[in-house]
């Protein structure tokens, strides 16, 4: 089984990643960082893609919205995909603008038939301009979107079907939403079409307290180590799937020594391997 494990590319981690390519199968690069980058930065990315397989990860398209994605952003993505030839590219099931205003973060839209239709139209536009569909990623949210008529699992599954696209399953986002809103993350994974789960994100977060109540929420901040619950979810994924997966560890600050991140990647390898072994033993 040729599962691949890698890290999100960040300038603070660059030296450590390049010094340990024997332990890293793939790196994930934020596409938006290169849209208006100088030629030297884009040349450096092309050089990186020669050294190690690269996946591109978008953060600003706003696919899951009744608002059409701006053609300019799709064209920027298309040029970068053509230039880098990534292993795959991905984007979030989120909205990022409304009324001409950029809100500055990934927000969860109401989970309705309207946003499913909007996501399908936006993904069709992406395929037309870029030539290939992205993997779409489930996002974390601290606020259950008002006006929703569907569960997150049903909404996500329906988008995958409507757009005929595949899923980048972020296990920490899933875990955070499950504890914040009281649903079973294992049931969520079971309700996804297994053949459409192509990649996995791992990350960590921290608990925050509401200002006016004693209620706590798990914030997906990418500043912490991967929690045990996320490794357990990854092992469970391994019991369900026979096809190869790409697993990316994300870290966006409070960077530890590279050895700690590599050890977390090794733990992820072990977790997925255990799950794969359980599936085979149960099938025997």
Domain ranges within the chain, ordered by starting residue: 4-283
pLDDT reading at 103 higher than 60: no
Q: How wide is the angle at C-alpha 60 spanned by C-alphas 116 and 58, nearest 5°?
A: 90
The separation between CA 273 and the C-alpha centre of its own chain, rounded to angstroms, equals 21
What is d(CA 28, CA 86) in angstroms, rounded to the nearest whole number? Answer: 9
CATH classification (class only), 4-283: alpha beta
pLDDT of residue 1: 65
For 30, residues 6+ apart whose C-beta sits below 8 A from its C-beta are 8, 9, 57, 58, 59
Mean pLDDT of 100-105: 62
Assessment of whether the complete model's pTM goes beyond 0.85:
yes
pLDDT of residue 101: 56
* Residue 85 dihedral angles phi and psi, to the nearest 5°: 55, 60
Residue 95 confidence class, pLDDT cut points 50, 70, 90:
confident
For 186-232, write each residue's pLDDT tens digit: 999 999 999 999 999 999 999 998 777 778 999 999 999 999 999 99
């Amino acid at each position: 089984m040729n599962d691949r494990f890698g890290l999100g590319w960040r300038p603070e981690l660059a030296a450590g990643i390049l010094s340990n390519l024997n332990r890293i199968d793939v790196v994930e690069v934020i596409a938006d960082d290169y849209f208006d980058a100088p030629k030297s930065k884009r040349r450096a990315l092309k050089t990186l893609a020669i050294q190690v397989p690269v996946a591109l990860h978008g953060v600003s398209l706003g696919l899951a919205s009744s608002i059409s994605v701006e053609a300019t952003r799709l064209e920027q993505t298309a040029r970068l995909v053509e230039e880098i030839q990534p292993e795959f590219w991905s984007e979030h099931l989120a909205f990022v603008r409304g009324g001409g205003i950029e809100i500055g973060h990934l927000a969860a839209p109401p989970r309705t038939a309207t946003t499913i239709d909007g996501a399908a139209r936006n993904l069709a536009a992406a395929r037309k301009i870029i030539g290939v569909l992205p993997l779409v990623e489930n996002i974390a949210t601290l606020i259950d979107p008002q006006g929703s008529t569907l569960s997150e699992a049903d909404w996500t599954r329906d988008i995958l079907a409507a757009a005929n696209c595949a899923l980048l399953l972020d296990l920490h986002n899933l875990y955070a939403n499950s504890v914040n809103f009281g649903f079973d993350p294992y049931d969520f994974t079971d309700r996804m079409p297994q053949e459409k789960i192509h990649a996995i994100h791992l990350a960590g977060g921290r608990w925050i307290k509401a200002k006016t109540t004693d209620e706590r929420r798990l914030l997906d901040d990418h500043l912490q180590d991967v929690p045990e619950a996320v490794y357990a979810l990854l092992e469970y994924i391994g019991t369900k799937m026979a096809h190869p997966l790409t697993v990316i560890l994300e870290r966006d600050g409070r960077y530890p020594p590279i050895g700690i991140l590599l050890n977390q990647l090794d733990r992820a390898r072990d977790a997925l391997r255990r799950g794969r072994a359980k599936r085979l033993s149960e099938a025997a």
